[in-house]
Amino acid sequence: MIALSAQNIAKSFGVNAVLRDVSFTIQQGDRIGLVGVNGCGKSTLMRIIAGLDTQDSGELSIVRGTRIGYLAQQDMVTHGSSVWAELEKVYEPVFEMEKKLRALEAEMAEAHEDASRFSRLSSDYDRLLRTFEESDGYSWRSMVSGVLNGLGFAPAQYEQNVDSLSGGEKTRLCLARLLLQKPDLLLLDEPTNHLDMETLGWLENYLSAYRGSVLVISHDRYFLDHVCTGIVEILMGNAEQYGGNYTRYIAQRQERFETRMRAYELQQKEIERQQAIIARYRMYNREKSIRAAESREKALDRMEKLEKPVDERAIHFRFEARRRTGEDVLKINGVSKSFGDKHLFQGFSLHVRAGDRIALIGPNGVGKSTLIKLITGDEAPDTGDIRYGSNVDIGYYDQHQSALHPEKTVLDEVWDRFPRMEQSDVRGALGMFLFTGDDVFQPIRTLSGGEKGRVALTALMLRKDNLLLLDEPTNHLDMDSREVLEDALSGFGGTIITVSHDRYFINRIADRIIEMQPGGVTEYMGNYDDYLEKKNRPVEQEAVAGKTRTELDKEKRREKMNRQALRQLKVRAQEAEKAVGLKEEEIARLEAQMADPALYADTAKASQVQRDYQRAQADLAALYEQWEEAEAALQSEDA
């Protein structure tokens, strides 16, 4: 059954049309993710659904009697109230029901001799008691404490004055209040802000089991993947609806783009064909042929022209390593680091091998970024040592972009790091990251966080280092840019160590998880899902199907080696394909020279070009063989 239907919703602010033609539906029980670039109108649409704003045109239909709960990015709490009292207010109707139940009990005690009256009171009492039970009348205290605990509030905070809470804690308290109200339609605008990984996991489980419908705005792709049954994307003022979670949405969007591009290209070919026919008819310059030309022109004018689809994932780049490392990339032995009385870690050791993809996770303040700076040499350890393997080239991505010069232009920032490159090559690299035309002359200080990140990624790509140290690389990047970054890193043949809170990113990139906590460090083999499964697995279940924990760990290591081998095969196949393409371009240039009669005026030069051509043809045959071998090995591994 449809819980909400939006048809042709439009909304403008002055001359700025935010929403132009938005249509979608939410079925009862759906959990819909609302996605799109910043400023596309997601929050505006949610405020319209919540009844806080009105649309300029279009129709919004909501089932009569639907209770709507709305959590904005900034919400309000009651001044002077305690944390517990703020949530206790949700159950004021329950408290009133309890008073009525006590009153009915007293009346029933007085009316036991009046059968008719007693029967009527009993019926009223039974109806009210059922409502009381359904409204958590007996369990409201455990509901409140459960939600508070799930959202990261310790029992010691229950009596804390809400005025003393941080902004993030107030937002979490508002979320707790809304969840306890259990509206039929839950509207959540960035609910994952201010939540740590553990709290995010609790919220995902809660919403996955929620009986009502949910519409949520979030940039957390892992959250959308684990909660949503559908995605609505706001794009250029319009809406497109997809079934399934975030990962399914990405696949479907690419399929739709390719379908639209094929339809557009076919229509363009038909238009060109019709225009050629019209031109021929007009060349004949006869009355009959002119009428035929005019008839076809009218038909062409009546044709509904398709717009060329825009590839939202416009960034296209890849990471390459200019040389290979030895098997041992990095060894950290017994490292300790403190800042004053703040002890981050003691006796930390880590062995990094070629091809490893390591994610460092844990709460803020445990020293993840500091560890990265110890590896780069920007910080020195108090004790212990850090040793690098042979041929290790370190590339570092700083989440704060502190190495960028505010007064330099985008072009100079990158070109000054690679002065031997031609300007056209530098601008070409920047173009891969959407810096085109006069964009390259913008001063760094005028850029947004995401734009600064793209400048830093351009420089990192050009360095071609074989050990990438990435500190929160997805911060400030939009969803599409994150996807492209992950694709580029997936095809990278070197080694990666990353600090990240982005669980989707970790899931796609990591094959080892290092969890850093104030009490120590724990290593888990696999990606983020593997980490969760292993962390939540009861001790008694660690021996599965007769296998010991050691045997299971060995299996994980073998799986990791298989993943590394597959990744290296993919890199080999990509490099072979690229080499074939370059050699074909060389042959095309030589063929163009050989087709020029002027070449044969110089016999020696003509002979040299022919020898070059024969050698290039032989090289191409060898490269094709290498490519075929790499593809065959890759298909064998995939099978």
375-409, pLDDT tens digit by residue?
Answer: 999 999 999 999 999 999 999 999 888 889 999 99
**CA separation for the pair 328, 141 (Å, rounded):** 55
Residue 313 pLDDT > 70? no
Q: What is the pLDDT of residue 78?
A: 83
Q: Average of pLDDT values for 550-555?
A: 58
Digit-coded pLDDT (tens) for 50-84: 999 999 999 999 998 899 999 876 667 888 889 99
Residue 432 pLDDT > 60? yes
Digit-coded pLDDT (tens) for 244-253: 999 999 999 8
Percent of the chain with pLDDT over 90: 55
279: CB partners within 8 A, 6+ apart: none
Angle 345-351-354 from CA coordinates, rounded to 5°: 135
Digit-coded pLDDT (tens) for 208-219: 999 999 999 999
Q: Average of pLDDT values for 403-416?
A: 93
**CA separation for the pair 132, 222 (Å, rounded):** 37
State residue 478 phi and psi, 5-degree precision: -75, 175
Q: Average of pLDDT values for 168-180?
A: 91
Say whether 321 sits in a helix, a strand or coil: coil
Digit-coded pLDDT (tens) for 192-209: 888 888 899 999 999 999
**CA separation for the pair 470, 359 (Å, rounded):** 9
If you average pLDDT over every residue of the chain, what do you get?
A: 88
Q: What is the pLDDT of residue 545?
A: 47
**Matching residue, tokens 């696949």:** 251
Q: What is the pTM of this model?
A: 0.76
Confidence bin at 603 (pLDDT 50/70/90): confident
- Highest mean pLDDT, choosing among 241-245, 285-289, 566-570: 241-245
Which among 219, 245, 218, 220 has a CA at the least distance from the CA of 231?
Answer: 245
Q: Which of 60-64, 139-143, 165-169, 224-228 has the lowest mean pLDDT?
A: 165-169
Residue 600 pLDDT > 80? no
